[in-house]
Amino acid sequence: MVTVGGGGKVTRKRKYSTMQHDILNLRAKGLSYRQIAEKLNCSKATISYWLDPNGKAKVVARNKRYKSRSNGKWASRRGAIWKYNYLLDKHCEKCGEDNMLMLQFDHKGGHEKHSNITDLLNGNLNKLKNEVKKCRVLCANCHQKKTLKANKTAFYTTYKEREQERKKHGCRN
């Protein structure tokens, strides 16, 4: 039960159903959010929660956003530790580079790519492991060259066309 002290202030904690009922009644009487908040000893956000038809949905969505932010730090750390342990004894399959800061995951041809490995590092480790099975390890340089060549980019095509001219004139690159 709710008791009201002097000046119309609530002196005990209210139940949700009572709070909602009281807010709706006071609003129907024409009181402002501030007046209702003072009378019921609650915040204007609580008033908004009960009066806005989407109030509960907004709070749930906001809580999910904040929850994912706090969990994200641990998930990010967990993914980083997993990647470190995975790459510890790996090297580039093309040139042999073993500096793990330079190593990247390259999806092998013929395998359906569901996600980028970097995106999966903060999520479910089983999904990450399944995606990594479809990959090989390349250094950043070899991965870039392979990707440009595979995608037949305009830059790669131009580079290859002009490579002959550079060699003819004795240019190094």
Beta bridge partners of 67: none
Q: Do 128 and 121 form a contact (C-beta atoms < 8 A)?
A: yes
pLDDT tens profile 6-25: 455 444 455 656 888 899 99
pLDDT (0 to 100) of residue 26:
93
Architecture of domain 6-52: Orthogonal Bundle (1.10)
Q: List, by residue range, all CATH 1.10.10 domains of the chain.
A: 6-52
Reported for 30-35, long-range contacts at CB under 8 A and 24+ positions apart, including other chains, are none
Q: Could you report how far apart the first and last alpha carbons of the chain are, in Å?
A: 84
Listed residue (82, 149, 169, 64) closest to 122, CA to CA? 82
pLDDT tens profile 64-122: 776 655 555 666 788 888 899 999 999 999 999 999 999 999 988 766 777 788 888 87
Write the DSSP assignment of 24-66 as a string of letters: HHHHHTT--HHHHHHHHT--HHHHHHHHSTTHHHHHHHHHHHH
pLDDT greater than 60 at residue 32: yes
pLDDT tens profile 142-154: 999 888 888 888 8
pLDDT greater than 70 at residue 2: no
pTM of the model: 0.51
